[in-house]
Structure 1
Amino acid sequence: MMKRYSRSPRRMLDPFVGRGYLRLILSLISSFIIFKIVFSILPSNDNDSNNKSTNSRSASLNNGINYLPQHVQSLEHQQRTSMSNLMSDPLSFLNALYSDSSEPLSDIQLGKLLYKKLKYDSSYSWFDTYELQKDLLTIRMGTDRGTRVDSINQLNFYENDPRLIWSVYLDHFMNSKTSHKNSKVPFAWYDWAESHDFNKLLAAKKTKIPCHFVFDSAFELEKLTNLEDELGEFLFIKDRIKYNEPLWYRKERKVGDTSVFGSLHDYCKDNLALQRPEDHDFKSPFKVTTLYDKVRPEVYQIQARNHIMTSLVHPLSMTILNSDKSSYRIPVEQREASKNIIQSGLLHDFLERHSPKLDDEASNYLFKSKKVEETPDFRNNQSSFDYVFDHNPIFDKFVESDFAKDHEVDVIGGNRSAFHSDFVYLNEDDFRFDVVAKIKELEESETSLDVHDKSYLESLKFSFNTHPVFVTKYFSEPNHVKSFAGKGWHRDKRFFNGDLPDDSQEYFQRLNAMIRTFQKFTKANGIISWLAHGTVYGYLYDGLSFPWDNDYDLQMPIKHLHLLAQYFNQTLVLEDPREGNGRYLVDIGSSITVRTNGNGKNNIDARFVDIDSGLYIDITGLASTSAPVKHYMEDYIKKLQSNITKDIELNKTLLDIQAPEKGLASLGIYELQTYAHEKSNGFDKRIIDKIDEMAKNERSIASGNSIEKKLSARQRYSLNDYLKIYNCRNHHFSTLELLSPLRTTIFHGVTTFVPNNFIRILNNEYRVPDEYGYVGYQNKAYVPEFKAWFRTDILKKCGSIYSWYPNLRKLSSPIKRMKLTDVKTFYYNLVKAGYEDLVSILYMSYSASSFRVKELEIQYDAKLKLNEKREYLNIMRNEVAPRLNAPGKDPLLFSHERKLWDMLSRDFSDETLSDIRREASQEVLRKLWKLTESVSSRSLELFDIPDRLVGNKTFTLNDFGMNLYHNNRSSVYKIFKKDPILLDEQAKDSNK
């Protein structure tokens, strides 16, 4: 039975009243304004990481945004809103969570709490509760929106809220009849990847959506309008209003490549034959089998989400993180057995185990259940009882369970202890790998290999037996997406999920969450990597990535790249649910044994891919290879030439150029060239051209100016290995001397490694300015007073340089050397000029950037002895770093709170919205100003160490290190002329 409840007009989820284009446009404009005005984020400066429950209550409303509402166990203890009230007023339950029963909060008071949490609080906590009746069983879109069904069996779709998914899966793990580490669990992308847009397709009953809808260059307008009318919400937001501009619409519809429609059956299968209601359960009206990216971003977004849910192969396993301490790897069922928590029966089992018919102690031992009457058939009817899903205490139980112990990953060859050291020493063997020996080792143990070992063995054999010239490009990016400014190169083709660059808040959050989770993942498993290229360049200044970067670059020794491949290739890494909601696919390329550039199509060895956005981390392995060195390595070689014997072929193992005994992969490039031309009928002309090109490149070495021009490939390998020169497949070279020992430091608030001489490495790739101070780069500048990068147009405007903006205050000092009082003025101008999003980033990253600057102050202070520098840096890493707040909010939590805010604030007047924003911004400006004053006076509380006393006073790191606050400097410090010296052996080398 389905029950429908009346809905108050002010709370209706349907943005449409009719189909008229005027009303549509007005509604779109309204939504656009709301998004632009109020959707931004800032974290709280308070760290609430020790709060484990998703339902803890604030001590008072003044600091309520820093804590989670405590959920009520039974109806007798506190008043709860009735289900009918929830239907007419979906957010009325918040009053019960945040109000004293005698004085319920107004919507405006709730709005202030929610807006501050949305905008300023980066701690991981939920503002609301997730419940069976008001959330899971209440339909939120389509013709049945606002309807509550009696049973989960009646659901055609649901939102995969992590509180629901984690509760069900964790409970299943702990109640599994077998805990064998190779036992597989049910899996569906639907439960783990962002599925809201896919649900829009499932919710459509009246509007028939065929395949061509997501292969047109732009959506068919009539079909789009019909679908949105039925859904009660927009299919997408960005550029939606342009669809009602005739000239724009005709142009966008014409620019597409219509040739795809001639073979559309190769890309998509229609499911329009579905007739019975039960046929529609979790079934899309079409199934995208092959992706096609020559369409607009909003079209490709829906296409790609459909492909994930209906066709994408499953990962081999899920790897669950226990913060950065350990991980648990659990094999999953593959695509042919794809089932979500309802289809697999996991949710039914959960409700059966914890139904009201069980005694209170049993039903409440892991999560709290409201006291309700028993139902006769709780497995198929849940209308008479309710649950509040709280996954955090379940996770606490899970990490202590036998199941977790059985599935904990032990990476043989990993180095967990390295992450607790100040320095990590690498050695030559880290950069060598014997492919033949590894294949033999795995084949001898083939009967006992797990699913990851078997996959790794197959990958090694395939790579080893494929000549580099024949290797196809492994990673795919949607680089043909139209009207996307070429940014498709920075997304994984499978997981593309919209135009994030236009949402600076979510873009920063996703990049921040991704690198933080990756670093916790590698630490938990003892896999060594370090920041490289533009990523370590960004770290140099403020401990964060450059704000204009689209991805991250990390390197690792070839030994650890193979550990990553063997243990984690094709695993879905799940962030500790007590810390965030990150979901990332580890994806290793298919030619991992090829260590030279080959045909140039596979410079990247691996990626760590965010499945909710398609953003990724590029990972490259460094190894001894036969690649000719770059010019910046030649001085290093010349310096050591006297130590090299006349017989350059020192290393007889020649691991880099191992080759199979037969087949094309056994041939050298010249032999392959001869063979290809003799058998030209058996080769594609493009392949022959590539063979000729690779042979030409090899010959050009001998005729060039390289110091290695007289050496064969075998001899080059021996020389590079002997001199400890290593490179990735894109010919970025480094040496053991430059890399080791790695320095342990903090990036985006978590532990990471950087090369010991990373400034020297950077100067081989870029030109790093010597000074720490105001630094200009193209149309951006680093301003040390804020420890942050700005666009120069923002600096000019908020500095009111030309007095063009009468509502902004003019600074009394130049931006390049701002007085302390002008810093406060500049903050004020940022808010006044509408750059609240930027202020939010400055605020939430303040502790992380302050940490990095203090690190620089200690590292480069000539007055400190080396042992003092090491001592203070160790204190920072072990006693200050754990107190750093996350520089950004969890993206999924941000999206959830933004939806709550949209629902709560839709009836607020412009004046009320302005008051809420002004109150919140004034509060954060006061905090920022106080922090700035503390930095200027060297009294920042972050660097006080309460557990350490010096006499009767608290030990503080504020007393140590040079003073890099710009206002206090009489001259520019050129500290980046060289890497900081922290070890005795470095000091000796620098004095030579």
Structure 2
Amino acid sequence: MRVTRLCRRVVSASMVMLLMVWLIKSIDPNSNVEKQLKLLKSQGNPNSSRLMWILSKPELAALFQALFLPETAGLNSEFWNDDYTLKDLTESTRVASGNKLWGLRFPYYTFDARLTAAVYYKHVQNSQHRGEIMFSWYDWKNLGSVLNPLITSKPQENPQCQDIFEAPEESQRIVSSSNKWGSFPKASLENSLLSSYCTNSQKSPIGFEVHRIQPHSDAESLVLQSSSFLFSGGLVPKNLVFLSKDGPAVHTSVKNSAAYLSLASSDLLEEFLSSHDELESTLVFDPLKEIKNIHSKPPFPTPKPGRGFLFELSPEAFEFDLISQKELLSQSEFPFEREFSYLSSLRFAQSYDSSGDNKFKYFYESSSIQNHPDNFQNHMDIRFFSGWVPKWKRLRTLNSLMRTWLDFTKSENLTSWLAHSSLHAYLYSGSQFPWAASQNVQMPIQDLHKLAMFYNQTLVIESPSEGYGRFFIDVQPFIFSRDHDESLDKVDARFIDIDTGLFIDILGVGFSSNALTNTRIMSQLRNERNRNPDVLTPSDDESGSKPLEDQASYKNSRFNRANEIVSEKSGKSYLLSDISPLRISKYHGKQVNIPHRALTIAKDEFHIVPWLFGPKQRQEKHRFVPALGSWLDLPTLKALLGPRRVQEAHTITASQLEQALESLLEKSASHCEEMLSWFNSQDQFKFRLEELAIESSNLDLNSKYELLQALQTNYRDLPSSYKDPFLHEKKERKWEECTKQANTAVGSQEYSNIIIKEVMKSLVKAFVANHGLKLKHEEISAHDNISQLAPTSLYNLRENSMEPLLEAPQALKADFTL
């Protein structure tokens, strides 16, 4: 009898997911779907269900540490394990009911990024030719949280286009439907036709298709528009790039597949299941395991050679000839699809530019949304808008964006460097400002065009060893010129987080005919001319024979090239010697390129006081606190130290710091996430302090470069200051579920907060015991000049108030390369 039961269980488990795929593909529209799905769920292993019980105080403390502190052994235990399994998929998968007028009813499920990544990695591993691959936004972004209620509703209850958009009555004689969506906030189309934005469709599982997005709307309306736009196939990536920490990135192209597919009914899922022997309900969709298998088989990847600590940029990198580039591409007999698409984009942009029409706006941001809560919400791409983003989710996402961009450009041998507010933030702590709404990088125009040709409309998938971010590269068509014009887009491309719409602005830099307005560069050239009369000036030109309207442009262009002045599309100018040679540093813990004269460039744009810290170091209602290596907003700083001691934040001692942190916790456990960000950023801040100690020393330039390069050699990638946004939200939900039950059982809403405070206090003691940050120059390398760095130490946490304060070094007074 036992043998018979065991055989039945093995057969049942081995067929569970193949049966699921078969069920979804072959469901009879007239059959009882719910009955079949119940039968499917019964195939799972009953022993694999996760029981929930009331956690004891030690268990809750261990759970908190496992979820939110650096990785611990506790996270690997079965109870705290939160892997995505086959059972999770079978329990969440359903097939849309209703009288849809199409052949295959849509199989929907609860989104999890690990499912999609694992299935696609397995397919890439099995596909030696790396051919085209199916794609649906439903599997890559959590559209189900918005659209699943529409998919499951009865057709007569679905919203229609006239429920979402408000079209002029005189041109659109459509009466709004009388369903529950009648009071839904509508986007006004003003004088546009409704059909150009939306059409009702009985073949769509949601009952309509959105073709364009109207950004002038309420946030709730925009979320539905953007989700429906992607679901309807309004924007499909051309390529997928899977990053890997253990080898080169894997590239696949996307085929033009039919809309309204999902992994739950795909051949990719069936392929994944067929590739695993253990078809139990506990089968884990593990992206990290799958991507490691890709690089564990021959041919083995060979590491790409590094560029070295200093990287010289040639003037040719900032030149782009539109006509010759078009001719070169046109002569190709069998161009790749990406090259043909790029050529078409160049032809369109040139034709549009020569017509004299004003360039249209390509990128639309959430700044047009009505009643947005703060200025941070202005920087989200409307196509991926999913609602307002709270502070810590924004910072986690921006961190993930930048770290993945740096991994991507390094993997694909593309050149970029920090610019504008990102470069400004780097100077202090090596990380973004906490008030940052976006990030900024620059590229030479040649690399910008490489990005456009080979990676435009590409979805980049973060290495699973780093996180589960998915980012869309989009390059606007008018990138061939750096000349300042009246176009509404000053950025050339964006690296966009598809979960939130937050992005990195990518700005091309190249030669142009822009007039020089940078007073620092003008003064520098004037001084050089006094020393060398042969230096070209704006009046030394040969434009007299040209038409009057072209003379100024010709003169500026010749002057800029002769003096190696390059520009953004916005008109901001730089000397090539300001940028080149690029040098390697770290930003958000990842290897990054920094302009040669980073401080000089930043001072052209921002007011920078010469001290790293002190009472004058205040920006955007934040103060820099060296004891924590972070910028603190004034309300938090007042809560930490008290209103009277805010001006003395840079003089705090070890005992005062410990007392202040514990007092902050006593006031509210809600400060936990902020404190974790301070503690988790210590490695990155320490590295930046090491750099600043070298940069602000009296050593000669070659000695500084030698020490900085040695520092890079000793410190590889540093750990991230923030958890992966996707996993963090899952862990937050898990914590809320457990604490809610614990609080209810104890009869106190503060029970879990008491545990948080106790755990965090022990972390505070460990942090202060190590003095947070102490420079260890001996870790760099043995060097004759290492002793000269001791007087330039920028921070040591004093033991007590009797210990004298170090004089604040003027680390940001002069660029160390000048």
Which band: TM-score by shorter chain? 0.7 to 0.9
TM-score between the two structures when normalised by the length of structure 1: 0.67
Task: Indicate the RMSD between aligned Cα atoms, in angstroms.
Answer: 4.0
Distance 1:815 1:170, change over 3 A: closer
Q: Which residue in the other structure is 1:417 paired with? A: 306
8 Å CA contact 2:239–2:459 kept in 1: the answer is yes
- For the pair 1:639 / 2:527, whether they are aligned, the reply is yes
Q: CA deviation at 1:788?
A: 0.9
Match for residue 722 of structure 2?
888
Q: 2:26: which partner in 1?
A: none
AA of the residue aligned to 2:339: D
TM (normalized to structure 2)? 0.81
8 Å CA contact 1:799, 1:826 repeated in 2? yes
Specify the alignment match of 2:608 in structure 1.
768
Question: In structure 1, which of residues 121, 125, 150 is the aligned counterpart of residue 70 of structure 2?
Answer: 121
Say if 2:688 is the partner of 1:852: yes
Contact 2:241 2:250 (C-alpha < 8 Å) held by counterparts: yes
SS, match of residue 366 in structure 2? coil
Find the counterpart in structure 2 of residue 934 from structure 1.
770
Q: Distance in 2 between matches of 1:312 and 1:925?
A: 50
Q: CA deviation at 1:214?
A: 4.2
Kindly indicate whether the alpha-carbon contact (under 8 Å) linking 1:316 and 1:451 is maintained by their aligned counterparts in 2: no
Q: Trace 1:451-490 onto structure 2 (pairs within 5 A).
A: 451-467=337-353, 469-470=356-357, 471-484=359-372, 485=374, 489-490=378-379
Percent identical among aligned pairs is 22
Q: Which residue of 2 aligns with 1:8?
A: none
Shift of 1:345: 1.9
2:386 partner amino acid? N
| Residues 1:975 and 2:806 aligned together | no
Measured in 1, the distance between the counterparts of 2:712 and 2:609 equals 27
Q: Amino acid of the residue matched to residue 965 of structure 1? A: N
Change (3 A) 1:565 1:716: same
d(CA) in 2 for partners of 1:796 and 1:735? Answer: 43
Match of 1:505 in 2: 392
Q: Report SS of the residue matched to 1:553.
A: strand
Shift in Å at residue 119 of structure 1?
2.7
For 2:300 and 2:234, locate their aligned partners in 1 and report how far apart those are by CA, in whole Å.
28
Deviation of 1:836 after TM superposition, in Å, equals: 2.1
How far has the Cα of 1:585 moved from its partner? Answer: 1.0
> Once the two structures are superposed, what CA deviation does each residue of 1:802-861 show, in whole Å capped at 9, x if it has no partner?
6xxxxxxxx799334223321112212332233222112112222212221222123223
Name the structure 2 match of 1:840: 676
After TM superposition, the structure 1 = structure 2 runs for residues 240-389 of structure 1, keeping only pairs within 5 Å, are 263-271=193-201, 273=202, 283-323=205-245, 326-334=248-256, 336=258, 339-351=261-273, 353-354=274-275, 363-364=276-277, 368-370=278-280, 387-389=283-285
Partner of 2:665: 831
In the superposition, relative to structure 1, how do residues 315 and 714 fare at CA in structure 2: closer, same or farther (>3 Å)?
same
- Read off the aligned partner of 2:740 and give its amino acid letter: R
Q: Do the aligned partners of 2:93 and 2:107 also contact (CA within 8 Å) in 1?
A: no
Is 1:170 the equivalent of 2:121?
yes
Residue 965 of structure 1 pairs with residue 796 of structure 2: yes
Q: Which residue of 2 aligns with 1:805?
A: none
Matches within 5 A, 1:947-962: 962=793
Query: Cα deviations across residues 850-882 of structure 1 (Å, max 9, x unaligned)?
Result: 2212221232233x5655544443333232243
Pick from 858, 866, 873 the counterpart of residue 708 of structure 2: 873
Alpha carbons of 1:117 and 1:454: their partners in 2 closer, same or farther (altered >3 Å)? farther
Structure 1, residues 531-574: CA drift from partner, whole Å, max 9, x if none?
11111111111111111110011111112111211211111111
**Contact 2:233–2:259 (Cα < 8 Å) also in 1:** no
CA distance in 2, matches of 1:844, 1:895: 18
Q: Distance in 2 between matches of 1:335 and 1:900?
A: 36
How far residue 139 of structure 1 moved from its aligned partner, in angstroms, is 2.8
In structure 2, the CA distance between the partners of 1:615 and 1:299, relative to structure 1 (3 Å rule), is: same
Q: Which residue of 2 aligns with 1:392?
A: 288
Question: Is the Cα–Cα contact under 8 Å of residues 376 and 435 in structure 2 kept in the other structure?
Answer: no
Provide the secondary structure at the position in 1 that maps to 2:447: helix
Structure-2 separation of matches of 1:949 and 1:583: 42
Q: Secondary structure at the match of 2:812?
A: helix
For residue 724 of structure 1, the aligned residue among 564, 579, 604 is: 564
Matched-pair contact (CA < 8 Å) for 1:159–1:195: no
SS across alignment from 2:474: strand
Which amino acid in 2 is paired with 1:115?
F
Pairing partner for 1:188 from 129, 136, 140: 136
Distance 2:787 2:738 in 1: 44
Q: CA deviation at 1:387?
A: 2.6
1:530 aligns with 2:417: yes
- Alpha-carbon separation, structure 2, partners of 1:548 and 1:972: 25
User: How much does 1:403 deviate?
Assistant: 9.2
Whole-Å Cα distance in 2 between the matches of residues 541 and 926 of structure 1?
A: 28
Find the counterpart in structure 2 of residue 66 from structure 1: none
1:210 Cα offset (Å) = 0.7
Q: What CA distance in whole angstroms lies between the structure 2 residues aligned with 1:649 and 1:429? A: 25
SS of the residue aligned with 1:329?
strand
Q: Distance in 1 between matches of 2:585 and 2:522?
A: 31
Relative contact order, higher structure (CA 8 A, sep 6+): 1
Alignment of 1:490-569 (within 5 A): 490-500=379-389, 503-569=390-456
User: Where do 1:66-77 residues align within 5 Å?
Assistant: none
1:137 paired to 2:90: yes
Measure how far apart 1:434 and its partner are: 2.3
For this pair of structures, how many residues does the alignment match? Answer: 736
**Is 1:158 matched with 2:109?**
yes
Alignment-mate amino acid for residue 587 of structure 2: F
Q: 1:135: Cα distance to partner?
A: 0.5
Q: Name which of structure 1's ranges 508-517 and 850-859 shifts more when overlaid on structure 2.
A: 850-859
> How far apart, in 1, do the equivalents of 2:758 and 2:775 lie?
23
User: What residue ranges of structure 1 are gaps of 5+ in the alignment?
Assistant: 1-80, 96-104, 145-152, 227-249, 275-279, 355-362, 371-384, 655-667, 671-694, 699-710, 803-810, 987-992
Contact in 1 for aligned 2:95/2:106 (Cα 8 Å): no
Aligned residue for 1:977, secondary structure, equals coil
- Conserved? CA contact 2:622–2:631, under 8 Å: yes
Residue 261 of structure 1 and its aligned partner are, at CA, apart by 11
Deviation track 1:124-145 (CA, whole Å, cap 9, x = no partner) reads 988535455530111389999x
TM-superposed CA distance for 1:636, in Å, is 2.4
- Deviation of the 1:522 alpha carbon: 0.5
**Residues 486 and 142 of structure 1, relative CA distance in 2, 3 Å threshold:** farther
How far, CA to CA, are the matches of 2:778 and 2:755 in structure 1? 30
Query: Once the two structures are superposed, what CA deviation does each residue of 1:346-369 show, in whole Å capped at 9, x if it has no partner?
Result: 212333x24xxxxxxxx44xxx54
What letter is aligned with 2:244?
Answer: N
Answer yes or no: is the 8 Å Cα contact 1:512–1:888 preserved in 2: yes
Rounded Cα–Cα distance in structure 1 between residues aligned with 2:192 and 2:782: 77
State the AA in 2 paired with 1:889.
K
Amino acid at match of 1:818: I
Q: What secondary structure does 1:769 align onto?
A: coil
Q: For the residues of structure 1 that align with 2:797 and 2:700, how far apart are their CA atoms? A: 24
Contact 2:339 2:453 (C-alpha < 8 Å) held by counterparts: yes
Deviation larger for 486-495 or 615-624: 486-495
2:41 aligned with 1:210? no
Confirm or deny: 8 A CA contact 1:313 1:334 kept in the other structure.
no
- Give the deviation of 1:966 after TM superposition: 6.6
Confirm or deny: 8 A CA contact 1:771 1:977 kept in the other structure.
yes
Residue pair 1:649, 1:715 contacting (<8 A) in 2 also: yes
- Equivalent position of 1:674 in the other structure: none
Shift of 1:713: 1.2
